[in-house]
Structure 1
Amino acid sequence: MGTMPLTPADIRNKKFHTVRLRPGYNEEDVDALLDRIEATLVALEGGPRTGPLLTADEIRNSRFRTTRMSPGYREDEVDDFLDLVVADLAGRGLGQPAAPPPLPPRPGQDGPRPPHPGQGTGYADPRRPGPPPGTPADGPRMAPQDIREKRFATTRLTTGYNEQEVDEFLDRAEYTLEVLLQGRPDRATLSSAEVERVQFATTRARPGYDPAQVDHFLDELAEEFRRYEHP
């Protein structure tokens, strides 16, 4: 397509190869983002506007669930195409997103905490009149920082959970809790049911996270997500 601006048809007709025996991007997640990109381009061309316009930064910070042993889009192909979309939207003046609503303060927290890269500011704002819609009435019990700073004991002589898989899953969980606290459940990439069903590869004769500790924390995490799903 060279330097020609992207069109809605370019997005609608884009196809990616699928993989099965190595990690890939969840097809539904990618397709949902492409639908929003197409809608943005339609609006930019003077067509009907069906929602907020996507920005280059929002696409750059998008995250997809990964697949294992089931079909998924090739990650490099998706990433390369989204780089084109990012450049296109930035060239049209859609570089920076509007500031997201601030997170409510964490209990006992006097000031703002540093942002997590690529996931919004996450600053507490004492001027905010109340929590975002969808926040449990009794307030959050867990903060994204609790997930980010969670540590588990490691095992060597007994079975443990694959550390990389657990860490990647917790990255998604942290992002999900971040957007839930911002009152943006439409951007969540995990549900309580998915937290309850997740399974990790196990390790033997090499370091792995203590399964009992991980399972206990996942129970707490699922319960926290459930409070936003059924306030």
Structure 2
Amino acid sequence: MRTGARLPVVLRGYDRKQVDGLLRRVSQALNGGPPMSADDVRKTRFDVVMRGYEPHAVDRLVRECILELQARGPIPERPGRPRVQPAWLINWIQSARFSGSGLRTGYDVRDVDAFLDRVIAGLRGVAPPMSARDVRESAFRVVRFGPGYDEKEVDRFLVQLAGALERR
């Protein structure tokens, strides 16, 4: 995650001190500091001021922060929460479909498909099993021209997959 990113300044945008403060707290939480949840980030609102950060760029970065906090946060145990069966999980992974990235950058189709094949092989017992941590730490090449999957869709799926692997 790029909390140290340089954000563009515009005539009217989000208060820079407020945005910088949130990004500093998120960075600290991700590096062992005071905890912060994805909900804490979602509830944050910024004042619009003169010479502030460009709102769309901040919103994209905040979404990345939320995904990162969700990926690293524990999944709470709830009574009656069903355990995920490997056969169901294999079927769910195999039926996953991602939109193409179109003219935007996207994750390399071959990398994502190969990774999911390794997860399935681990669930079948023919390869070392993949942990939720392995899924959270996965990284894929980004392609500009060529077959690519929509990055947000893949990231959302991987958060769900990590959660399902924790419930096995």
Greater percentage in strand: 2
Of structures 1 and 2, the one scoring higher in RCO (CA 8 A, sep 6+) is 2
* TM class, shorter-length: 0.3 to 0.5
Larger of the two Rg values belongs to structure: 1
TM-score by length of 1: 0.34
Greater percentage in helix: 2
TM-score by length of 2: 0.47
